[in-house]
Structure 1
């Protein structure tokens, strides 16, 4: 069995051989969200919501010291975005295209992702959940690490924001998803 007592204590082979699992100490702790947020009562959704007041604070730079990058992602159709959007927002209505851009060349530093659609009840939550799922997949071996831990949805969407803060939109207009002049485009996707 064992030739000496030392054989029981000494492991055979390379002591420093890498294991398939990362050390628990190497995994980053999940970051606490910086922004004041809430979760909708009526929905089973794990993506936090932001009030329009908090969203305005973000636009005004109140939280800039916490983030290296800030992306306001408008998930509406192009004709809706072109008809009026939050100043500084970028338009992505294809979740795979957005995931490709975010994960093929991830942004450096701490990045804030803010999603909205017309009312922020369907398209923005769908897109935000997809990005969170992709982030979990990309970082599966170093859970709970995420490339983009701070993902939020604007409560009330563009509709609610435009009603109260039209001057923060460019152009200062609002084209609804089901606008008659765009019905063919709308029906192609639904």
Structure 2
């Protein structure tokens, strides 16, 4: 599989908690609770500097349950943006589902609604889209639209790796930086050809 840029736009969708930042036992409601995982900010920089469009897609049931307000979420995302920009990276957007698990919506992963909205708004095909996550719902959501599942072994990734429901074509990396280095090498290889 060649993920190198070949004139087509490529999209990397990132789950947030457990991929970019340290998992917390409760929804993150304060910027002081948000701590980037080692190498994750450099990873976003590598991806964006290699020409990939990078966005976040996250289930945020803390909004629907009242544990997190929109103002608090925006403050957390403000801190995250600052760290990413300082590393030289860029996010092209943040999508989230605010609903609780019981809401039966189409946007909460593993349902495909949020991902379909992302690729529609960005005009990128599903086959040119990778979702990097640490949970089975992430893998199921991207597989449902015909994209590429990437499991990282941070967050709950090691537990997810043991599950039999993983899509057959799931790629596995130690962390986001490991995946980003692979993507960067592919982009550099394509540029040489």
TM-score tier after normalising by the smaller chain length: 0.3 to 0.5
TM-score by length of 1: 0.33
TM-score by length of 2: 0.33
> Which has the higher Rg, Structure 1 or Structure 2?
1
